[in-house]
Amino acid sequence: MSKEITSREADYSQWYNDLVLKGGLADYSAVRGCMVIKPYGFTLWENMRDQLDRMFKETGHVNAYFPLFIPKSFLSKEAAHVEGFAKECAVVTHYRLKNDPNGGGVVVDPDAKLEEELIVRPTSETIIWNTYKDWIQSYRDLPLLINQWANVVRWEMRTRLFLRTAEFLWQEGHTAHATKEEAVEETEKMLDVYARFVEEYMAVPVIKGVKTPSERFAGAEDTYCIEALMQDGKALQAGTSHFLGQNFARAFDVKFLTKENKLEYVWATSWGVSTRLIGALVMAHSDDQGLILPPKIAPLQVVIVPIYKGDEQKALIGEKVDEIIKELKALGISVKYDDSDNARPGWKFAEYEMKGVPVRIAIGARDLENKVAEVARRDTKEKQTLPLENLAGQVKNLLDEIQMNMFNKAKSYRDSHITEVNDWAEFERLLDEKGGFLAAHWDGTAETEEAIKEKTKATIRCIPLDNKQEAGTCILTGKPSTQRVLFARAY
Amino acid sequence: MSKEITSREADYSQWYNDLVLKGGLADYSAVRGCMVIKPYGFTLWENMRDQLDRMFKETGHVNAYFPLFIPKSFLSKEAAHVEGFAKECAVVTHYRLKNDPNGGGVVVDPDAKLEEELIVRPTSETIIWNTYKDWIQSYRDLPLLINQWANVVRWEMRTRLFLRTAEFLWQEGHTAHATKEEAVEETEKMLDVYARFVEEYMAVPVIKGVKTPSERFAGAEDTYCIEALMQDGKALQAGTSHFLGQNFARAFDVKFLTKENKLEYVWATSWGVSTRLIGALVMAHSDDQGLILPPKIAPLQVVIVPIYKGDEQKALIGEKVDEIIKELKALGISVKYDDSDNARPGWKFAEYEMKGVPVRIAIGARDLENKVAEVARRDTKEKQTLPLENLAGQVKNLLDEIQMNMFNKAKSYRDSHITEVNDWAEFERLLDEKGGFLAAHWDGTAETEEAIKEKTKATIRCIPLDNKQEAGTCILTGKPSTQRVLFARAY
């Protein structure tokens, strides 16, 4: 096998890169920090996107498209926002190249300097709220429930495929409401949509919570999040939903006439998930043999590999497989028949294992005689011999079972990695030895939060929604506290 | 009515802008030359995109995603390509802003200058072929049939909503082949896909042809195109498919090992259509009352408006409409019930006429008693009274008929605007008085082509595929010619 994967134990980080690259999800590009999403990885993204899009539409949202560029001055209109994004943005300063008069190829044409620089959007609150100003006059124009699928750019210094790239794909919802209550409700509703998607489709359990002030989105009054746990014990923020208050409405002067004929600022939310979710998916489920992808979003759900000697056997098997494929497709199952002569069955098995195809069916000449097939599931690697009679129906049930099993396995790992801690030495020890979420008391100050981060690299991932209130003392300072929060090292 | 539309006769260009803005398709943005695609317009684009995507996948293509940015040096690697795109590109030169030490808000941080400038992709041949170099080693890796849905930027000086914007959405197919024949076949196949889409779904007839050398894509050996005709007699290029020869393979050194174990350069194609198609759609069909959208891609196919006095009537009508909606949806027809009390039926009728909804159903209390409804079609404005019994089935047939009628109407207009011309004075007169395509002889030189353009603003739109060969003399120079080509003024 040419495609050796580093084991998780040997080097977790290299294992992740191996899976992404060798599993055919993505590739490095010639542009620093930007990746190429390969066809297999992009089909995975399409499946995720299409399902999320359905869920957004079911909850009353429509899609639109806003400009890639944001005038520099817009960014500055919301004070916290510019603070958060100015330090890592791609800046367009010119609109033309010209031939180098000294013969050095093409160079920037100094005569084509923009009057005002344009920022490649790192997020679109500013350009969108500048537009909403024209769209919102009265309460009749509200709520405005708009989503955008787009590429965004944040000039991160240290990048990782999918997890942190300079350019990434995402969706960003931007809604406008007449009341604070309605905006808060929307923020929570979309957090629920994300949680449902990540759990039901990606088979990754999440904890819903709110961020501390220092971890909030730049410009938000409250940031809600879903936090997932990876196999190395590190947390990963899988999606955020922001209650923006009236901050952007004030910054862009967006007021509406209420039913009572008064002019008031509009209330806002924004919420987003990105291709980063693919990184979470890879790290939550996969093993040392390759990707393990949940059936509901896998690019390919079933692969069929024939085991044959000679053209006659191949033709016979092929005939039967055509029937099986027809049945599978009728049940909405995606399937590929790999009867290429380029590789032996063993090589193909390893290849599809690497790519995380949930179910593999192998059929040989003897199987055909016995009217059976060998069916292997990727998640547990169990193989079973199943009758060809109603094979598609059995495979459908198996796919459902795999989906459920993957979630349960991830959940049991996650649940066993939420630990209540009351002692600082224990806190530090557990972070190093076990990882996961540490439920500990915190005195509620940004200073303590920062000090803990400095000492341990652990951050407060969230304050879980409906958190139990209990008296306690801060894990670091011993000051009084009323609830535990979840600490973890994170991606 | 607050939303007056300029008539085509009064000001065709203003008419077009009115339709786009007041029909809710798009809006101007704060960024020069960039537009906002509004939800109604974006749903139209989604319908077009989804259908094209199905057709690409049916013809064996897969989607992927490549970086937004292109290193400046890449652009220069193909000589014609840089010549074509360097003069109108957005250039990223810095990756950070900082607070102005003089208190002027945020400014570009001079310490964050990129070593090499990045171009916001105007098209992706260069970055993709630089990637293909790593993906293609042997004939087994070919053909590579990849498409990308993306935003691109071309810094046009004069912009028009949809027709010519600095940023636009499009798809770009980039395929790699082992032989010239296969690449040419792919180029032609994708032209056929485009022609089929534009005719069958957009109801706009097109002429398939090839461009003259001076109108070719920068870097192509041959550019195939489909040309449509707008109601003002101007042509519009609706899609292009390029045979790129080995130009980009040479520029990026992409070779493959043939079955005979020889190293050869790979053959390439690229092909694209963009949001510009929406401009074509608007101008091909609409009238002075608003948009007319073909049922197969309309964001909304049917609107139902109740005519009632009082809540009791409204409730009765609403009950019946619920049934009708269920039946329509079961047939896959999109429908909206507008029972808002904000506006009178007449205002609603005008609004949906403006938005080009193909079928409008009005139901009043009397209709309910008589078990009928008034059904109006947008294309011909004909109204008929139809029985409520199997109304959905009748509406489905009507939608099919509208789709066909729109195509036939556009085709008959187009066909009556292809004129054979043999005399220069007549050529000039027809361009001014009638417009459309003028089929005229041309001596085959770029000089004559340029001279005609200078004199008349007409360009050679294409040399139709399977063009009839006939002896003649050039319309301008009188030199010998073997075939007519199609001239027109164009968008």
Query: What DSSP string runs through B117-166?
Result: EEEEPSS-HHHHHHHHHHH--BGGG--EEEEEEEEEE---SS-BTTTB-S
Q: Indicate if the pLDDT at residue B315 is higher than 50.
A: yes
Query: Has residue B129 got a pLDDT over 90?
Result: yes
Q: Is B71 helix (H, G, I), strand (E, B) or coil?
A: strand
Name the percent of chain B lying above pLDDT 90. 95
The CA distance from B228 to A98, in Å, is 34
Between B99 and B408, residue with greater pLDDT: B408
Mean pLDDT of all residues in chain B? 96
Mean pLDDT calculated for residue range B142-168? 96
Mode of pairing for the β-strands spanning B437-441 and B418-420: parallel
- CB-CB contact of B489 with B458 (8 Å): yes
User: Confidence class of residue B76 from pLDDT cuts 50, 70 and 90?
Assistant: confident
Cα dihedral: A91, A95, A100, A101 (round 10): -130
Cβ of A450 under 8 Å from any chain B Cβ?
Answer: no
Q: Does A153 touch chain B (CB under 8 A)?
A: yes
In chain B, residues with a C-beta closer than 8 Å to the C-beta of A92 are 90-93, 120
Place of tokens 């359990």: A205
- Identify all chain A residues contacting B81, using CB atoms and an 8 Å cutoff: none
- pLDDT at A235 > cutoff 80: yes
pLDDT in the model for residue B82: 87
The verdict on B168 touching A (C-beta cutoff 8 Å) is no
Look at B69 and A31 and tell me if their CB atoms are within 8 Å. Answer: yes
The yes-or-no verdict on residue A1 having pLDDT over 70 is no
Here the tokens at position A382 are 């169990």
pLDDT recorded at residue B466: 87
pLDDT in tens, A358-367: 999 999 999 9
Average pLDDT score over residue span B232-241: 98
Query: Contacts of residue B140 in chain A, CB cutoff 8 Å?
Result: 342
Q: Give how far A353 is from chain B: nearest CA, Å.
A: 21
Cβ <8 Å between A89 and B95: yes
Please give the distance of CA B244 from its chain centroid, rounded to a whole number.
Answer: 22
Q: How many CB atoms lie within 10 A of CB B265?
A: 16
Residue A76 — pLDDT band, cuts 50, 70, 90? confident
d(CA B124, CA B173): 9
Helices within B142-246 (DSSP H only) = 180-200
- Would an 8 Å CB–CB cutoff place A39 in contact with chain B? yes
- Rounded to the nearest 10°, the torsion over CA A447, A453, A458, A460 is 20
Q: What is the mean pLDDT of chain A?
A: 96
pLDDT above 60: residue A2: no
Domains and CATH numbers, chain A: 12-69+123-285 (3.30.930.10), 302-398 (3.40.50.800), 418-488 (3.30.110.30)
> Is residue B3 very low, low, confident or very high in pLDDT (cuts 50, 70, 90)?
low
Tokens 């300063």 sit on residue:
A93
- Contact between B171 and B164 (Cβ < 8 Å): no
Interchain pair A29, B146: CB under 8 A: no
Region A282-295 average pLDDT:
98
Does the beta-carbon distance from A97 to B119 stay under 8 Å? yes
- Interface A-B: count of C-beta contacts within 8 A: 192
CA distance B307 to B343: 11
What's the pLDDT tens digit per position in B198-231?
999 999 999 999 999 999 999 999 999 999 999 9
Q: How sure is the predictor about A102, in pLDDT bands with cuts at 50, 70 and 90?
A: confident
CA distances from B398 to B302, B321, B329 (A): 11, 18, 15
For residues A76 and A95, give the distance between their C-alpha atoms in angstroms, rounded to a whole number. Answer: 23
Look at residue B1 in the predicted model and tell me its pLDDT.
Answer: 43
| Banded pLDDT at B78 (limits 50, 70, 90) | confident
B266-305 residue pLDDT tens: 999 999 999 999 999 999 999 999 999 999 999 999 999 9
Secondary structure (3-state) at B415: helix
Considering CB atoms only, which of A27, A39, A134 is closest to B63? A39
Across B6-25, b (16+ Cβ under 10 Å) vs e yields: bebeeebeebbbbbbbbbbb
Mean pLDDT of the region B389-398: 97
Band of pLDDT at residue B91, cut at 50, 70 and 90:
very high
Which of A107-121, B102-116, B135-149, B210-224 bottoms out in mean pLDDT, i.e. has the lowest? B102-116
Q: A61 in contact with B at a CB cutoff of 8 Å?
A: no
Q: Which two tokens stand for residue A199?
A: 């759990």
Q: Do B151 and A153 touch (CB under 8 A)?
A: no
What CA–CA distance (Å, rounded) separates B46 from B60?
A: 21
- Residue B274 burial (10 A CB sphere; 0-12, 13-18, 19+): buried
Residue A63 to residue B73, Cβ atoms within 8 A: no
Dig out the tokens for A155 from the structure.
């000039």
Establish if B169 touches chain A: CB-CB under 8 angstroms: yes
Q: Which tens digit of pLDDT belongs to each residue from B347-365? A: 999 999 999 999 999 999 9
Q: Tokens for B359, please give them.
A: 């079928």
Tens-place pLDDT, residues B242-275: 999 999 999 999 999 999 999 999 999 999 999 9
Distance between CA atoms of residues B159 and B305, nearest Å: 38
Residues 6+ apart with CB under 8 A from A153: A89, A90, A120, A121, A122, A166, A167, B68
Residue B288 distance to chain A (closest CA, Å):
25
Q: Is the pLDDT of residue A228 over 60?
A: yes
Q: What is the DSSP letter of A65?
A: B
The whole-angstrom distance between B370's CA and the closest CA on chain A is: 35
Contact B90 A88 (CB under 8 A): no
Residue B197 has pLDDT above 90, yes or no: yes
Chain A, 346 to 405: residues with Cβ < 8 Å from chain B are none
At what angle are helices A391-415 and A276-285 packed, to 10 degrees?
A: 90
CB atoms within 10 A of CB A324: 20
